[in-house]
């Protein structure tokens, strides 16, 4: 047998002691973890723990395993939203298939889990919109998925919204640029698969009665086309509008979760201006980079946008108080120590791990707004954090978010 790891010498070395010579479905249950409400897979998939981390193992034909291993590595380097690959085991005895090893995406949820919650906050429309954003991001990068489905997607909270991640890349094809035909075919495959998965949920009594699986699935192509047109369209405007219209367009792309690459302005015969923007995936985005630069925090893009807004408000407060300018890095350092960290430290030990710290801070800001509206004054972050950990956080499902919730002390 041979093992290939990416990058060599990193986490997961303890996995080498596992019984790789045995068929994955015959492994001792004591070695495995049960991950609640995971998606459906056509392959044998198992989960294991090592040094506090959780890894997914998928048994698959060696050519497909090598293909997926290489692609997921590329996606990680380019910042595309996909699970992170650790390695593969090949040349297993008795002609057994290879095993692909990926890192479990912390704080992620499957679509089955989201629909299984008694009073789920996230509707079928939200899941579909999130999937469409993922598909547009991949298509902009020349990625033809070929198997886009709810089962092959994981969802993660990002400042109250959902972010989607590709899980399965065995059918993926990479091209310099996708043709409209390739994109439309990928979208049509997604529509069929999503419809079948929602029908399966309906038969299992897990889908709210008001949701029509076929109607929801049929809405996927127009949702995709609307977003694709929005991020790739050309605009024509007058020369005296040029400055603010370009800024407006770039801000709109940022708000949708995309970055601008090359910006081209073409003067038209009638004196007007045509704007062309090379749109690319904004992952990791400018907000994440900026927040990391001034605070050292690594969070998701929407979380970073929300936290940066709070940093800016805090900086304005510092400048008003001091009567002079305050450097951005100074404001970021003080905000981290005086505002963010006290909120994180206020989380009781028994509730730690329910949500990412950045997501907790985002929810505390939401809770602060709610309490302030009710009180008719600003109640402050400290009071909001105290109220939040007493009245809101305890009701977050234990099994929902992080591997620590189902490790049970193992690994």
Q: Which pTM does this prediction carry? A: 0.70
CA 43, CA 59: separation in Å to the nearest integer?
6
Cis peptide before 7 (omega within 30 of 0): yes
- Name the CATH topology of 2-104: Phosphorylase Kinase; domain 1 (3.30.200)
Per-residue pLDDT tens digits for 139-188: 999 999 999 999 999 998 877 778 899 999 999 999 999 999 999 999 99
Name the more confident of 211 and 263: 211
Higher pLDDT, 162 or 400: 162
d(CA 382, CA 316): 19
Would you state the pLDDT for residue 407? 56
CATH architecture of 108-230: Orthogonal Bundle (1.10)
Which of 112, 138, 127 minimizes the C-alpha distance to 223?
127
What pLDDT is stored for residue 119 in this prediction? 47
More confident residue, 126 or 179: 179
Min mean pLDDT across 48-62, 138-152, 220-234, 270-284 is at 270-284
Q: Are 152 and 184 in contact (CB under 8 A)?
A: no
pLDDT tier at 260, thresholds 50, 70, 90:
low
Domain ranges of the chain: 2-104, 108-230, 233-281, 286-395
Strand partners, 263: 277
pLDDT at residue 11, as a whole number: 62
- Using DSSP, how many helices (H) and how many strands (E) does the chain show? 14, 13
Q: DSSP readout, 99-122? A: EEEEE--TTEE-HHHHHHSTT-SS
Domains 2-104 and 108-230 share a fold: no
Bridge partners (DSSP) of residue 87 are 5, 101
Alpha-carbon distance of 328 to 322, in angstroms, equals 14
Q: What is the mean pLDDT of residues 274-296?
A: 76
Rounded to whole angstroms, the Cα distance separating 24 from 18 reads: 10
**Does the pLDDT value for residue 26 go beyond 80?**
yes
């Amino acid at each position: 047998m041979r093992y290939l790891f990416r990058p060599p010498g990193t986490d997961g070395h303890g996995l080498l002691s596992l019984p790789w010579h045995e068929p994955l479905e015959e492994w001792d249950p004591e070695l495995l973890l049960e991950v609640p409400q995971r998606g459906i897979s056509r392959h044998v998939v198992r989960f294991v723990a090592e040094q506090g981390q959780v890894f997914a193992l998928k048994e698959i034909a060696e050519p497909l395993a090598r293909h997926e291993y290489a692609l997921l590595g590329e996606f990680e380097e380019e910042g595309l939203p996909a699970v992170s690959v650790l390695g593969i085991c090949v040349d297993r005895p008795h002609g057994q298939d290879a095993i692909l090893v990926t890192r479990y995406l912390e704080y992620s949820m499957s679509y089955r889990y989201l629909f299984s919650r008694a009073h789920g906050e996230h509707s079928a429309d939200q899941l579909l919109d999130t999937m469409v954003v993922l598909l547009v991001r991949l298509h902009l990068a020349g990625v033809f998925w070929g198997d886009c489905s709810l089962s092959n997607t994981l969802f993660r909270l990002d400042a109250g919204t959902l972010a989607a991640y590709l899980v399965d890349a065995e059918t993926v094809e990479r091209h310099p640029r996708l043709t409209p035909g390739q994109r439309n075919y990928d979208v049509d495959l997604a529509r069929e698969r999503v419809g079948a998965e929602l029908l399966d949920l309906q038969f299992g009594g897990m889908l709210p009665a008001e949701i029509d699986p076929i109607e929801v699935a049929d809405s996927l192509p127009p949702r995709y086309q609307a977003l694709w047109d929005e991020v790739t369209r050309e605009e024509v405007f007058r020369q005296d509008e040029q400055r603010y219209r370009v800024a407006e367009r770039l801000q709109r792309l940022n708000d949708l979760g995309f970055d601008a690459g090359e910006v081209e302005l073409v003067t038209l015969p009638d004196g007007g201006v045509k704007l062309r923007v090379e749109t690319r995936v904004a992952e990791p985005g400018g907000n994440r980079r900026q927040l990391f630069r001034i605070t050292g925090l690594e969070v998701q893009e929407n979380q970073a946008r929300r936290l940066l807004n709070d940093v800016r408000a805090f900086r304005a407060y510092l400048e008003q108080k001091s009567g002079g300018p305050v450097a951005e890095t100074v404001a970021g350092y003080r905000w981290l120590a005086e505002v963010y960290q006290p909120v994180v430290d206020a989380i009781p030990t028994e509730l730690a791990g329910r949500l990412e710290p950045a997501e907790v801070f985002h929810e505390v800001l939401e809770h602060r707004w709610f309490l302030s509206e009710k009180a008719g004054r600003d109640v402050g972050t400290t009071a909001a954090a105290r109220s939040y950990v007493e009245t809101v956080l305890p009701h977050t499902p234990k099994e929902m978010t992080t591997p620590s919730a189902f490790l049970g002390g193992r690994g």
